[in-house]
Structure 1
């Protein structure tokens, strides 16, 4: 084991944050990210080829992005230059680029690590393109946000995006063991409290080590903390969730797809995740109303009014009582028969309406409020459906220029089975009446 994990840290080391003391000194010491750093990992193969292009490291906090960038520079013998997009502007970038050009004249290559690169605006991101293209720097940017939304297409086209994953429980346990080896003692926690601590870290190695420091600073001699005692010491760490960023969109996508996939337990879990993270319940209510129309529709016509009723219940009761009504609808929607027939039909009708111009509806179904319009044939021959057999005239209502169209095709699930029977019934009647009219015309 490396000296980094020796059991007797010096006084100087003790003054440094635990995360800094445990920072790996080689890529094979990095915990997690085996899809990048394992024997067949992307970065392993890249380094073996002797070529390292510009990279965008995308992933949640505390997963090793900065550490890996620094170690990559060491591995290929490049100067490591680091800036943060939060604290840097155009003038800072110019200085960095000029220094890299000067070093290049001396035969020194530069790996430029840009933390929070998504914080740079479009013009600042564009400023990297020339120095990337002429080899002045190898750019390694780190971001917690989806690069597809936050970075320029030109910058992305010149970089390879590598996804960093949250640390799994075994990874966090290994990191905790390394910390204990460094400290020379086992963390004073029960097994259950230790397991809970790993969960509180939420896949963030740096956060885990911060929690360890809090426990060490607050625990008493010869005291072993149970779950409640440990939570009292560290308080509670909020889940990683930003209502305007990836966490928000990822979880609402998961909720929508688990309801569509008829899995009430998974749907309840993602619903609870969003509630615990502080999502606006009315946002969730609006999305549930949308799901009731988009994914269930007429397969269960009760889904939409129930979703609306749940929203009204929340507005009346508030939190936390009103959230139960939303949870009830989450389960109901998940177990309801599914159909997107109305959604698909509406999209098709919209598409035709946009592409077909403005053909006149048949004169027979147009009102004639004036004598002139009546003389022009408006409404002539219209049959009032309630006055004919079966309350169905079978007249043609589409513009003559378009001809008859069919958008709505019910599925053989739920209430739409009955609607399909009705549509088939009216289709038969329409065809029969059309034959009779044609026979009379002849």
Structure 2
């Protein structure tokens, strides 16, 4: 085979490979968007500069470069690189890799094992890594899109270092698009707005933006946003009702409501609905916000949220979603108080400590003569018979000094409640013992 023919064959084989594969970084300097790890002074950069490689977990969203980083790291050592996917592998596959690594180690060579989607392994499968990681038979590089704190065993986490990879920002995605244009020697046939839309659609996924660039780059242009969207498939938001995004977004919605930011609250509500979250779940959480963060500062908050929930069940999507949005705005703009929430928590703690104390006898009914003889109901003062409608009697157990759990703030309707409590306390101090 002539050198000219071989070069031509290599060029044609390279061109046949998908663009994301052709542009896969070959060194740390080519990785985009992860300077906090691989840039100057970054922990992974330091590890490579020092010529060492330790077991680690790479945590980040899809398309941020976890697999690429693992391959690059293995290339900086003389260790054998092995790769498994937790989706398609089981204990039998792990045993085979571990046994080969032991043989390799006996012959003086180490092994890097890259496990994609490592969070898919169950507890017993994760436990299988412990001895071979601990004794150095393998250097484990695990990749996960899920929070390792929740999905990986604490024993495995204690033997690895967790590095967090970030979703690719606009600057990193633009760098990838420019590399695509250089690789293909063609400009992306889209106008500035369509280019910005493409990067927004990528949602931080470098693999996606390169795949869409490969699809578009052969088109004639320039294409505006509408024309581009007819050619490329809109990427579904990164959202799974069972993963971190579910909990992160509901937390963001809740805290935006608590922080009285109606605009941010509407944004997170829209994100959750766009991601396919069950509106009934959101309705339940909105009701919780009403009782936890607004409480009696606005007594209408709870019925308003219940009405919104009822309206959604009657209307369904998408019309019923407006009722949820209205409830979110109402809560975000309402006066805030967690006084009832904290009062109940304090009362529960006191009840747990005091056990089965009896109520004071004077507030107990006495339907039998024996109970009357025991003092049940003796000395009870009927509040409605007093001039103020308030007797001031003590309703705590006789063995428990009176405590104050509920301390409403000077906000919203609770300002009026606070006045009442101060007034009643004054009457209580004046009442006969």
TM-score, normalised via structure 1 length: 0.94
Offset, 1:126? 0.4
Supply the distance in 2 between the matched residues of 1:353 and 1:166 (Cα, whole angstroms).
Answer: 48
SS in 1 for 2:76: helix
Offset, 1:401? 1.5
What does the per-residue CA deviation read over 1:202-254, in whole Å, with 9 as the maximum and x for residues that have no partner?
1000111122233246x3xx332211111111132111110111111111110
What does the per-residue CA deviation read over 1:98-118, in whole Å, with 9 as the maximum and x for residues that have no partner?
111111122211111110000
- 1:151 counterpart residue number: 152
SS in 2 for 1:99: helix
- 1:365 counterpart residue number: 363
- 1:107 counterpart residue number: 108
> Which one of the candidate residues 258, 266, 269 is aligned to 1:268?
266
CA contact (8 A) 1:112 1:139 kept: yes
Supply the distance in 2 between the matched residues of 1:386 and 1:45 (Cα, whole angstroms).
Answer: 78
- 1:5 counterpart residue number: none
What does the per-residue CA deviation read over 1:116-163, in whole Å, with 9 as the maximum and x for residues that have no partner?
000001001001000011110111100000111100010011111111
SS in 2 for 1:175: helix
CA contact (8 A) 1:188 1:225 kept: yes
Q: Give the 5 Å matches for 1:256-295.
A: 256-295=254-293
Offset, 1:77? 2.7
Supply the distance in 2 between the matched residues of 1:414 and 1:49 (Cα, whole angstroms).
Answer: 61
SS in 2 for 1:206: helix
Offset, 1:329? 1.4
- 1:88 counterpart residue number: 89
CA contact (8 A) 2:408 2:414 kept: yes
Higher deviation after alignment, 206-215 or 114-123 = 206-215
Offset, 1:403? 1.5
Offset, 1:94? 0.7
Supply the distance in 2 between the matched residues of 1:200 and 1:10 (Cα, whole angstroms).
Answer: 31
Supply the distance in 1 between the matched residues of 2:216 and 2:241 (Cα, whole angstroms).
Answer: 30
Provide structure 1 residue ranges, at least 5 long, that are not aligned to the other structure. Answer: 1-7, 438-442
> Which one of the candidate residues 339, 342, 347 is aligned to 1:341?
339
2:309 is the counterpart of 1:308: no
CA contact (8 A) 2:19 2:180 kept: yes
CA contact (8 A) 1:33 1:165 kept: yes
Q: Give the 5 Å matches for 1:220-235.
A: 222-235=220-233
Provide structure 2 residue ranges, at least 5 long, that are not aligned to the other structure. Answer: 1-8
Higher deviation after alignment, 230-239 or 122-131 = 230-239
What does the per-residue CA deviation read over 1:262-290, in whole Å, with 9 as the maximum and x for residues that have no partner?
11111111111111111111111111110
Higher deviation after alignment, 262-271 or 315-324 = 315-324
SS in 1 for 2:409: coil
Change (3 A) 1:99 1:9: closer
Supply the distance in 2 between the matched residues of 1:153 and 1:375 (Cα, whole angstroms).
Answer: 62
- 1:121 counterpart residue number: 122
TM-score, normalised via structure 2 length: 0.96
> Which one of the candidate residues 385, 389, 392 is aligned to 1:391?
389
- 2:352 counterpart residue number: 354
Supply the distance in 2 between the matched residues of 1:279 and 1:117 (Cα, whole angstroms).
Answer: 25
Supply the distance in 1 between the matched residues of 2:30 and 2:127 (Cα, whole angstroms).
Answer: 35
Supply the distance in 1 between the matched residues of 2:52 and 2:346 (Cα, whole angstroms).
Answer: 50
Supply the distance in 2 between the matched residues of 1:34 and 1:343 (Cα, whole angstroms).
Answer: 44
What does the per-residue CA deviation read over 1:170-211, in whole Å, with 9 as the maximum and x for residues that have no partner?
100100110111011011111111110001111000111122
- 2:6 counterpart residue number: none
- 1:43 counterpart residue number: 44
Q: Give the 5 Å matches for 1:208-219.
A: 208-216=209-217, 219=219
Change (3 A) 1:103 1:373: same
* Number of residues of Structure 1 aligned to a counterpart in Structure 2: 425
Q: Give the 5 Å matches for 1:388-427.
A: 388-427=386-425
Q: Give the 5 Å matches for 1:59-70.
A: 59-70=60-71
Supply the distance in 2 between the matched residues of 1:156 and 1:269 (Cα, whole angstroms).
Answer: 35
Supply the distance in 2 between the matched residues of 1:263 and 1:41 (Cα, whole angstroms).
Answer: 36
2:191 is the counterpart of 1:190: yes
Supply the distance in 2 between the matched residues of 1:126 and 1:109 (Cα, whole angstroms).
Answer: 21
- 1:4 counterpart residue number: none
